[in-house]
Structure 1
Amino acid sequence: MLNRAICTALVGIGTAQFLKIPLNYLRTDKWDWKKLFGSGEMPSSHSSAVTSLTTYIALKKGVSSIDFGASSIFSLIVMYDAMGIRWQAGQIAIAVNDMDEQLEIIADNHPGINHKKREKELKEMLGHLPVEVLGGIALGIAIGAGSYFFEKPK
C-alpha cells in the first residue's frame, strides 16, 4: 500500500494544478489546458502540496512530533521560495524578454546592428503572489484534513 502522507501531498499538487484551469477561464474566458502542467498562478500547487502534507502529519502524529516540525520547516521554505526567489526569477524573465523585443526593433531600424531574436521566450510565470500561496495553503489544509478524516482506521 502507498504511503498516505505522500498520496495526500500528490493529491494536493494535482488538485491545485487542475483548479488552475477553471480559475483561469473565469479570469480570461478561455480554456487553457496547458495550465494543468504550468507553474505559477492560483492556487499554488507547491503550497497546496506541502500544506496538505503538514496538515495530515499534524492530525496523524500531533503538532509536538518531529515529523510535524520537519514538515513545517520544509513547508515554510517551499512557500518562501515560491513567493520570493521564483517570483523574482519570473520578473527577470519578463525584463529579458522585453529587452530582446526592444533590441529587435533597434536592429531593424539600424542596418549596422545585428541581433538574432531568441527562438523561444523565457518562461515568465514561475512564482506566486502572496494571495496565490494563501489559496494553496487553504486548499492544502482542506486536503490534508480530508485525507486524515477519511482514512480507514487500522
Structure 2
Amino acid sequence: MLVLSHFFHNYILMAAVLSWIFAQIIKTVITLIITKRFDPERILGAGGMPSAHSAMVCALFVGVLRRCGAASPEFALAFVLAGVVIYDAMGVRRAAGEQARVLNKLVEITEKNGSEVTRKGLKESLGHTPMEVLAGIMLGILVALAMG
C-alpha cells in the first residue's frame, strides 16, 4: 500500500500521467464535436489533437527540471527522452500513417478491379502534425506547472 501512496504523491509521475489522460480526453471530445459520434478508439489511440505522447514527455521534462534542476542527470535523461518522443511523433509515426493511407488506397483500387484482398485496413492516424505536437507540448507544460 505504501508503494501506491508513493505513486500518487510523485509529482513528476503524476504530472506526466495526468497530461496523457487530459490529452486523450481532449482528443476524444474534439473527435466527438467534429464527427458528432463517440469513438472509443480515441480514448487510448495514437494520433490526433493534441499529441498525448508530447504532452506526457513535456510534463515529465518540466517536472524533472523543477524538482531536480537543469544540471541533474535526471534532467538530461528527460530532455533526451522528450526529444526522441517528439521527433518520433512528427517523423517516423507520421510517415507510417501516410504510408498506411497509400496502402489502404491501393487495396481499395485493387478490390474495385475485382481482386479480393482479405486484410483489414491499416490504421492511418499514427503520428502527428507539428500543430498537434505543439498543442501536446503546451498541455504538458501547463499541467506540470499547474501541479507544482
TM-score (norm: length of structure 2): 0.89
The Cα of 1:7 is off from its aligned counterpart by: 2.3
Determine what percentage of the aligned residue pairs are the same residue: 34
Q: State the one-letter code of the partner of 1:16.
A: A
Q: 2:23 matched to which residue of 1? A: 16
**Which one has the largest radius of gyration?**
1
Which consecutive unaligned segments of at least 5 residues does structure 1 have?
A: 109-114, 149-154
For residues 19-39 of structure 1, the C-alpha deviation after alignment (integer angstroms, 9 at most, x for no partner) is 112222333333333311111
Q: What secondary structure, in the 3-state scheme, does the structure 2 residue paired with 1:64 have?
A: coil
User: Following the alignment from structure 1 to structure 2, what is the Cα–Cα distance between the partners of residues 132 and 30?
Assistant: 21
Q: 2:91 matched to which residue of 1? A: 84
Q: 1:138 matched to which residue of 2? A: 138
Q: 2:48 matched to which residue of 1? A: 41
User: Following the alignment from structure 1 to structure 2, what is the Cα–Cα distance between the partners of residues 10 and 142?
Assistant: 13
User: Following the alignment from structure 1 to structure 2, what is the Cα–Cα distance between the partners of residues 45 and 7?
Assistant: 14
RMSD: 1.4
Give the one of 65, 68, 71 matched to 2:72.
65
Q: Is the CA contact (8 Å cut-off) linking 1:100 and 1:118 kept in structure 2? A: no
The Cα of 1:92 is off from its aligned counterpart by: 0.5
User: Following the alignment from structure 1 to structure 2, what is the Cα–Cα distance between the partners of residues 147 and 53?
Assistant: 12
Q: Is the CA contact (8 Å cut-off) linking 1:56 and 1:147 kept in structure 2? A: no
TM-score (norm: length of structure 1): 0.85
